[in-house]
Structure 1
Amino acid sequence: MATATLALSIPALAGLGGSASAAPTTGLSIDPVGYRVVDGKPDVNNPLPSVGLTEDVGYSATASSNGSVLLSPRSVIGSDDRTQVYNTQSNPYRRSGQITVFDSSRTRTATCTGWLISPTAVVTAGHCLTDGTAPTVDLEFAPARNGVGNDPYGTFRATAVWFDAQYGSPGRDWGLIQLDAPVGDDVGWYGIESVDNLDLVGHQARVIGYPGDKAAGTLWQAVDTISAETDRTLSYATDTFGGQSGAAVTTDGDDTAVAIHTDGGSTNSGTVLTAELFNTLARLR
């Protein structure tokens, strides 16, 4: 198994659907904080309103979308142990993209993985968007990237970023980016589901992302078993590496995410979509 202690790589409301049942708050609190981004500069002096984001939205799942652009045939070699996705323009792969983080001089400082949950909303790991004191200076999202310079749907910049004020705590490592154009209308998006009170141990966890130990900008996937869970995190044997931070974790299907891949070690793990986190993402998407 290829693992890394952090899954971030540092170089050398549309389409509601799904379950009609509510996702009530469960006491597993989160603390969303957001900032508008203009020309790559977060407005840190004027945080976006966050009151009520975690409150029950009245449903516990959202529907996925395949997008309006004609699908290409799915083409993957094998089904496990980090196989490369050669046709990134097929679903579910084109719903994911590479996030490139820049400093104030537009020098690339890190890469992560993100995935669409609506035409303009991308979910990722919180540590891709903040160092704990301030939001990331600038970033771009490239859905279905397939190597350096191969961005079939273009690149998109952030208009706002959201993350948890306590992102270093267990289950708080989550983030959301609002994009400057509705690329999800073309490529589609993942559904999301609150998994409070669900036993996922023994189910398969699929992680699709952009590992830093492979050729730059190439998309890889792996599938393996969920070995443990807490109220806020999942642990799984699925192979990952730095750069896959923020990837969607799906189980028993490609269309609905239940967690966000965040880090690795003796096992790899991700942030569970608790009721509060689900409600927040559903309201922001």
Structure 2
Amino acid sequence: MSTSIAQSIFGRWSLASVTDKPAADVLRIGAAAEGIETALADDSRIPVRISDIQPGGKYYSIVKLQIKFEKQVSSDTRWAQGTGWLIANDLVITAGHCTFDHTYNFGKAVKIRAYIGYNGKESIGKPDVQFRQGRKIVTTMKWTTSDINRANDVGLILLDTPFNSVEPINYNPTAVAFKNWKLGVVGYPDDRTLDDEPGAQMYKMFKETTCDISKTSLNMLEHTISFGPGQSGSPVLIEGQNTSIGTNVYGLGTRNSASVIRGEYGNYYKIMVDALSSTEAPVTTRNGVENIKIAQPEDAITNKPAGDEESFWACLNNVINIGAKINSTVLQVGTPFLGPIGAPVAAVVGTSLSVIGKLTSSNNGVVFDNKLGPRALTTADYKYHASRAILAEAALQTLLKMGARQTHKYDMFSKMQARYKEARYLVPNVAKLIAPAVTEPALRIAVDSQAGENVPKTYPTMPPTEEALNSPVQPFFEGLLKSVHNQGEQEDFFGFLTGIANTAANVVSTDAPIISAVGSIAGAIGGRAEDIFEPDSGDLAPYVEALCHRALLGDAALYALMSVPTKDIQEEGFFGDLVNTVKNIGSTVIKVAPAVIKTITPIVQSLSGRHS
């Protein structure tokens, strides 16, 4: 197996002009041309909704491609069919074999049509269907050299003009190993027809996937998601996110595969973008292909991401996508722990961390400062800490709805990484300690979810809190409340949100208190959690660990979001996303407060006893 396939030399060439009229005859490329079946035993592909390929739709940035290769004879009317995905308004990622053909020895692509919103040839000319021409291509030199180099099967197309009204797709470094992630392949298969036109419609299929790239034969992302000819170059998407972790390229008979992004085994898209505009003289030029060497720091080209970065991305994907079911001996219900109930339970975990962290920060038992209310543990104390935890989960949900332009413009991920790495190493021991505090609330939330309870129509009363007029984050909370007031929300919800906002602004600063709490708890533990407290939590601790990471990421997301100018938050619609999550989970989290309070006391007492 390879040790590193990241490339610093790329093939680059220009493309000829082409009309927008789609081709009728299809040239099969990729696995289909080699007789390899990529529609597997489980073929549950379905057409996407029309609204999904219109402006604002979640697949509007997925591109239908038609390709003509250099060595096709002039009488050959066939065009290869492919799929791509936008990483910028004028940049398309696709499979390398959609840009350079080895199967027929047709060589480099010379003409490329690119469409978004495409739904059959009759859709051409409709307002939401846009056509562009490919102007320039970059692909890895390893791919142009030989199709043995499947792991380097990726290409980049520069368009003649940018597409309008699109939200480019985010791309994350592919985690080396993951389990039960819900991934999907979305694109234009030409084994499906519309009015006898192959590849006329976009199809999708999502499926739970487990993979260890370090152990696959070519260090590629292997999966059992069916796809058809024409879907080469499709993004491998994380369900529910506008995020790709690979480019779908090939079939292996019983499994399919995708080239991966960054890390020890991946391809570096940013360096490919740099190669498009590089003014360096080509290392060599062969058959019209300029081989361009991009000078980059060694660690940016060949090394896997730093541990903190790799851990951040792996954790972000894990806490959102793990669909594992809690063992019936733990919660007595087989509900997806990080599915629909993941958001409120994560906020419960964040609250527990914050409360216990505050209590252990002085190492002298139950002590609160004046801002946090009375010395005895009460529901009010929980509400103070819950306010921040609820907003943290809301911030994480808001982040996941952002597009690539927004996360890049506001530098969201790097700000989150800086916060997250402070405490991630401490989570395993802390999770085992707090598991009893969240078991009963999680059960209640799970049971209510299975019973199909609707979001409560009324909202609890929050403790009276003065506005934090001098707080540096007060403009953020004022903007949040103003956005609700402008929408004419019901009075009890406005009062509830006012309490949440004012409490959070008063009690915590822009420093990440949940992250600080983890450090405080770990300091109080001293050794391993089981040395001082052995909870009867069954198999719950591993799930609580994932939820602790989610709470940390949520708090980091809130920190990053509060750094965005309030005017921008309003204009981007982020306040609306925050409010929707608070509305959905706020009452649920507050409702289970007594169960959390009841279990916190013995945990804190056990810590105090150890230091007495």
Establish whether TM, by shorter chain, passes 0.5: yes
* 1:277 aligned onto 2:247: no
Q: Is the CA contact (8 Å cut-off) linking 2:14 and 2:110 kept in structure 1?
A: no
CA–CA distance in 2 between the matches of 1:207 and 1:102?
A: 24
Partner of 1:44: none
* 1:253 aligned onto 2:205: no
Higher relative contact order (CA 8 A, sep 6+): 1
CA–CA distance in 2 between the matches of 1:270 and 1:148?
A: 29
RMSD: 2.4
CA–CA distance in 2 between the matches of 1:284 and 1:39?
A: 22
- The letter for the 1-side match of 2:271 is T
Please point out which of 84, 105, 112 is paired with 2:47: 84
Cα distance, 1:172–1:96 mapped onto 2, change above 3 Å: same
CA–CA distance in 2 between the matches of 1:282 and 1:161?
A: 10
Q: Deviations over 1:215-239 (max 9, x none)?
A: 1310000001223232541111212
Give secondary structure in 1 for the equivalent of 2:177.
Answer: coil
CA–CA distance in 2 between the matches of 1:280 and 1:253?
A: 28
Q: Is the CA contact (8 Å cut-off) linking 1:223 and 1:239 kept in structure 2?
A: no
- The letter for the 1-side match of 2:66 is T
* 1:124 aligned onto 2:99: no
Aligned positions of 1:159-174 closer than 5 A: 159-167=135-143, 168=147, 169-174=149-154
Q: Comparing both structures, which one devotes a greater share of its residues to strand?
A: 1
- The letter for the 1-side match of 2:131 is T
Q: How far is the alpha carbon of 1:140 from its aligned partner? A: 0.4
CA–CA distance in 1 between the matches of 2:133 and 2:63?
A: 13
* Structure possessing the higher radius of gyration over alpha carbons: 2
Q: Deviations over 1:146-166 (max 9, x none)?
A: 122314332111110111222
CA–CA distance in 1 between the matches of 2:224 and 2:15?
A: 36
Unaligned runs of 5+ in 2: 19-42, 277-612
Partner of 2:208: 225
Q: Deviations over 1:192-212 (max 9, x none)?
A: 1122x5423321111110111
Q: How far is the alpha carbon of 1:248 from its aligned partner? A: 0.3
Cα distance, 1:261–1:205 mapped onto 2, change above 3 Å: same
Q: Is the CA contact (8 Å cut-off) linking 2:138 and 2:156 kept in structure 1?
A: yes
CA–CA distance in 2 between the matches of 1:278 and 1:178?
A: 13
Q: How far is the alpha carbon of 1:32 from its aligned partner? A: 1.9
Q: Comparing both structures, which one devotes a greater share of its residues to helix?
A: 2
CA–CA distance in 2 between the matches of 1:238 and 1:191?
A: 21
Give aligned-pair identity as a percent: 23
CA–CA distance in 2 between the matches of 1:102 and 1:211?
A: 18
Aligned positions of 1:1-285 closer than 5 A: 27-30=4-7, 31-39=9-17, 81-87=44-50, 88-89=53-54, 90-103=56-69, 105=74, 107-132=77-102, 134-151=107-124, 152-167=128-143, 168=147, 169-183=149-163, 185-195=164-174, 197-215=175-193, 216=198, 217-231=200-214, 232-264=219-251, 265-275=253-263, 276-281=267-272, 283=274
CA–CA distance in 2 between the matches of 1:156 and 1:242?
A: 22
Give secondary structure in 2 for the equivalent of 1:81.
Answer: coil
- The letter for the 1-side match of 2:13 is Y
- The letter for the 2-side match of 1:165 is M
Structure 1 runs (4+) greater than 6 angstroms displaced:
none
CA–CA distance in 2 between the matches of 1:220 and 1:209?
A: 6
Q: Deviations over 1:28-56 (max 9, x none)?
A: 3324211122436xxxxxxxxxxxxxxxx
Number of residue pairs aligned between Structure 1 and Structure 2: 219
Give secondary structure in 1 for the equivalent of 2:248.
Answer: strand
- The letter for the 2-side match of 1:201 is K
